[in-house]
Amino acid sequence: MAEKQRSWEKRLTSRPDELTVDYVESLSYDTRLYKYDIVGSIAHAQMLARQKLITQSEFKAIKQGLVEISEDIEAGRLAFDKACEDIHMAVEAALIERIGEPGKKLHTARSRNDQVATDIRLWLRDEIEVVQVQIAGLQKAFVQLAGKHRNDLMPAYTHMQRAQPVLVAAYLLSFVEQLERDFTRLRDCRNRLNVSPLGAGAIAGTTLPIDREDTAAQLGFAEVAGNSIDAVSDRDFCVEFIFDCALIAAHLSRFAEDWIIYASNEFDFVDIDDAFCTSSSMMPQKRNPDVLELMRGKTGTVYGALIAMLTILKAQPSGYNRDLQEDKIHVSSAADTVEKSLEMAQAVVSHTTFKSGEIAVGLTKGFLDATALAEYLVRKGVPFRESHGIVGALVAYCEKAGKPLQDLTLNEFKKYTLAADDDVYEYLGVENVVKRYASAGAVGPRQVQQQLATWKKRLAKR
């Protein structure tokens, strides 16, 4: 559907080699921008008409032609010629074929350089909102699961060693906090990229009397880019978006790692619905959390997109360079991967329960109340560094004796510290520890109740 010869080819003495055509085309991956290319073109044409650079009848013909092209692409009725190279030239070629001379005026005061920069910003604005909706959905799933386990206990880990007892709900809400930062980072990214490069031209703007504020307003941009060189040549907003995706992927990977471990026979903390597990082609007893393993693995895809995008920008000279054509590959890859992973994570969380009974049986292991005992001694006037050493010695004694701290007699406590009294037992045992958590943001019943209420209220608005 390309013209017999594109205008820029008149500068060249020969037609592009077929190898060149295949190498430089981007239609295979930038067709997803067609809606934004058409919306941007209609806004540009509207501005040209207002500025008397085209007539109103020409604008109407251009707009009608572009709307029809959009409908045909949506319906799968329009096939593009790869010789058009990209979605911009493909749409323009289709427009000229349909409406003739007016179509040739659409590119007045515009370059593919500012055109693609506009398209990708428009696409990313919408893409960010899609990802934010998915983040909110996953947050809601975590909050709902936390509500089911607001009274259940589990061990928390540091260095993969048992540390202190926590409510299962508090553990689940920790992911909601991480996802909230992802949500707000994307919001900030959207605010920064919401700047119109349209009208910057190839690099230096134009001598024609265009109105950049007009097109920016039509397209919902907050402002116009202040420097035409920067407007067409930088893709820092793409890097920022992929970085945000990379952090989302990192958070999902950590969640997946936890639940892969928790689903193992050694831990047996969670029961993930069979719909989100697979079995083995050889071992009939296996029940593998493969979707979580893939979620963990796909993080590498997003990290790869980030490194690729940074590398593209690393050594480019000022101004637009064709290297930037590759940006859409990596931005799209990061977006697609994160969207699928967020969708899968929400499904898994919504179909998982914590095996509270099994977890409770093992809560006496690991001396989870040791820190609380050290803090009990602080209440009795013992300096923390001293109480820390006392409890460490008591734990060593208990390990040899084969019993938990709460089973020690008062006389045994007195051998290590005279500060211990009858009330020491009120601070021992995981239930006592959890209910005594006092600091804001801690993992006790009162704090978790507050956190649940806060998140339910906040997420209800999304």
Catalytic residue, from 28, 57, 279, 280: name it: 280
SS3 (DSSP) at 129: helix
Tokens of 439: 């600091």
**How far is Cα 69 from Cα 168, in angstroms, rounded to an integer?**
54
User: CB neighbours of 282 closer than 8 A, spacing ≥ 6?
Assistant: none
User: CB neighbours of 79 closer than 8 A, spacing ≥ 6?
Assistant: 1
Catalytic residue, from 14, 159, 281, 439: name it: 159
* Number of C-beta neighbours around residue 307 at 10 A: 12
Give 161's strand partners.
158
- For the purposes of burial, counting CB atoms within 10 Å of the CB of 226, is it exposed (0-12), middle (13-18) or buried (19 or more)? exposed
**How far is Cα 372 from Cα 314, in angstroms, rounded to an integer?**
51
Q: At what angle do helices 168-193 and 236-262 cross, to 10 degrees?
A: 170
- For the purposes of burial, counting CB atoms within 10 Å of the CB of 123, is it exposed (0-12), middle (13-18) or buried (19 or more)? buried
**How far is Cα 338 from Cα 123, in angstroms, rounded to an integer?**
16
Question: Annotated catalytic, 159?
Answer: yes
Closest CA relative to residue 184, chosen from 139, 118, 117, 121: 139
Catalytic residues: 159, 280
